[in-house]
Amino acid sequence: MLTIDEIKDISFRRGRGYKGEDVDAFIDEVILTFEQMKKEKSELIRKMDILATRVEQYRADEETVRNALLTSQRIADQSIKEANAKAAAIISDAEAKAASMQKETNAVTAKQKEVYLKLKKDSVELRSELEALYKKHINSINDLPTDAVLAREQEELNRKYPTTPVEEPEAVETEPEAIEEDVIDVSQIEDTFEPVSSTGTEFVPEENRFSNLKFGDNYDVDAE
C-alpha cells in the first residue's frame, strides 16, 4: 500500500507518453484524497474510540442494571415468599381460631341443650308427681259422702227406724207435775242397729269412716 509520502516522492521518466503537468495534477489530487481519507480515518478512529468507551460504559451500566434487576428480582421473590408465608400463617391462625371458636360454641350449645333437656325432664317428673298427688286428693274427695248419699242414708234410716213427731205439751198455769221421762237404753239400740248403705255394702258411721282422714297445710299425702 502506498503512503502519502511515497506518492509525493514518486517520479516518472520523461518520454513521448503523458504530459508531465497532467501527471503532477493527478498526483496532487491523489495526495489530497489520501490526506482527506487519513483525516477521515483519524476521525473515524476517534469516534470509534468514543463509541468503544461508550459501549464499555454501556456494558458496565448494563451489568449494573442487570445486577440491580437481579437484586430487585431476588428482593421481589423474597418479599413474595415472606408475604406468602405470612399469609399462610395468618390463614392457619385464623382457621385454628375458627376451629377453637366452633368447638367452644358446640360445647356451649351441647351444655345448653343438656340443661334444657334436664329442665324438661324435671318438668315431666314434676307433672307425674303432681298428677299422682292430685289423684290421691281426688280419691280422698271421692270417699267423702255427697248430698245424694246423705239423702239416701237418711231415707234408709227413716225407713228402718220410723219415728213419730213428739207434740209439745200445752202450757198450764198450775204448777207442773213431775213428768217421768222415758229413759232409752242406748246399748239396746246399738245392738239392733245394722244400717246398710245404698250400695248394699255394710254402712260405716261417719265418725269411724273418716277417722283416718287428715287435713292441714303440713300434711303430706305421700307419707301414708
Percent of the chain predicted with pLDDT > 90: 26
Owner of C-alpha cell 503512503: 3
Question: What are 182's three cell numbers?
Answer: 222415758
Per-residue pLDDT at 91: 93
DSSP assignment string, 187-211: HHHHHH---B-TTSSBP--HHHHTT
Q: Which has more pLDDT, 21 or 80?
A: 80
Owner of C-alpha cell 255394710: 202
Across residues 64-91, what is the average pLDDT? Answer: 90
Per-residue pLDDT at 192: 47
Question: Which stretch of DSSP H or E encloses residue 42?
Answer: helix 20-143
Q: How crowded is residue 60: how many other Cβ atoms within 10 Å of its Cβ? A: 10
Question: In angstroms, rounded to a whole number, what is the distance separating the alpha carbons of residues 44 and 41?
Answer: 5
- pLDDT bucket at 206, cuts 50 / 70 / 90: very low
pLDDT digits (tens, 9 = 90+) for 55-65: 888 888 888 88
Q: Which has more pLDDT, 15 or 210?
A: 15
Instruction: Find which of 83-97, 161-175, 199-213 is predicted with most confidence, using mean pLDDT.
Output: 83-97
Per-residue pLDDT at 92: 92
Three-class HEC string of 147-185? HHHHHHHHHHHHHHCCCCCCCCCCCCCCCCCCCCCCCCC
∠ CA 178-182-187, rounded to 5°: 150
Tell me: pLDDT of 164 over 60. Answer: yes
- Per domain, the residue ranges of the chain are 4-101
Q: Which residues contact 116 (CB under 8 A, 6 or more apart)?
A: none
Kindly report the pTM of this predicted structure: 0.32
Helix/strand number for the chain, H first, E second: 5, 0
- pLDDT bucket at 26, cuts 50 / 70 / 90: confident
- pLDDT bucket at 185, cuts 50 / 70 / 90: low
